[in-house]
Every structure is written in C-alpha cells, then in structure tokens.
Amino acid sequence: MIVPRNWKHSAGMLSTIASGAGAGLALGAMVGPHGVALGLVIGTTLGFVAGRIMDTEERKRSDRTRELDAVIGITEGSLGAGPVSLEPGSEAAEDAEAAEEKRRWLAEWLTPPPPQVG
C-alpha cells in the first residue's frame, strides 16, 4: 500500500481501513458485482471512521499521560520530592538532643527486623 509522505495517522488507522475494505468486499461478494463495489466503498468508509476514532482516542490518552507525567515530575523535575536529609547534624543550628533523637529514629526505622526462627 502506498502511503503519502504527509500522512499523519498511525498504522492502526491503515489496518482498520484495510479490514473495513476486506469485510465490505467479502460481504459484497455474496450479492454480486454491484455488492462488491458497494461493500468495498462502505467497508472502506467505515474502516476509515473507526480508525479515525481510534487514532483520536490514542492521541488524547497520550497527551493526558504526558501532561500527568509533567505534573507528577516524571519527565520534568524531581518527582515532586523536596530536599530531604536523613543524616543527623546536617543542619547547622541543631542541638545535641535533637541529633540523638534522629539517630535513635534512624536506628529503629532503617534497621530491618531480625528473621523469625521456628
């Protein structure tokens, strides 16, 4: 099949047009030569319409996914995370008691539990 250079539709569009034409041709062949011609035209038209709808929906879904990725920060930014530091003492104005509290928290939450035996 020859496709023009300025064709802006997907391969799915071409396949729906071809399936519509094939289905119309097969159904029209049961009626005779006039049915073949009419089935080919109607099948191609319906295939084009179905392909156009599928292509439009795919583009909408793709645009929405790109938009959400940008909002969440997957394609731009840092996934929405602010500056985070788990290291105690990273802040200059931190006192010793707060640093010890952070160390206890880190030891409790970042250490895996012992394995269950028996």
Shared-domain flag, residues 47 and 89: no
Q: What is the pLDDT of residue 90?
A: 52
Tokens linked to 8: 């802006």
* pTM as predicted: 0.52
Q: What is the pLDDT of residue 81?
A: 61
103 pLDDT exceeds 60?
A: yes
Tokens linked to 72: 């969440």
Shared-domain flag, residues 42 and 68: yes
Which 3 state secondary structure label does DSSP give 46?
Answer: helix
Tokens linked to 14: 């071409």
Q: What is the pLDDT of residue 109?
A: 74
Q: What is the pLDDT of residue 60?
A: 92
Q: Which domain holds residue 63?
A: 11-81
Question: Is 54 a domain residue?
Answer: yes
Shared-domain flag, residues 89 and 74: no
Rounded CA-CA distance 34/39 in Å is: 8
Confidence of residue 104 (pLDDT cuts 50, 70, 90): confident
Shared-domain flag, residues 56 and 95: no
* Short-list 7, 4, 10, CA closest to 53: 10
Q: How far is CA 64 from CA 61, 70, 78, in A?
A: 5, 10, 19
- How large is the average pLDDT for residues 48-60? 89
Segment 56-99, tens digit of pLDDT: 898 899 998 888 887 777 777 666 565 555 555 455 455 777 77
Shared-domain flag, residues 52 and 101: no
Show Cβ contacts of residue 27 under 8 Å, excluding neighbours closer than 6 positions: 35, 39, 43
Segment 21-42, tens digit of pLDDT: 899 889 888 888 888 999 889 9
Rounded CA-CA distance 11/9 in Å is: 7
Shared-domain flag, residues 76 and 95: no
Q: What is the pLDDT of residue 96?
A: 76
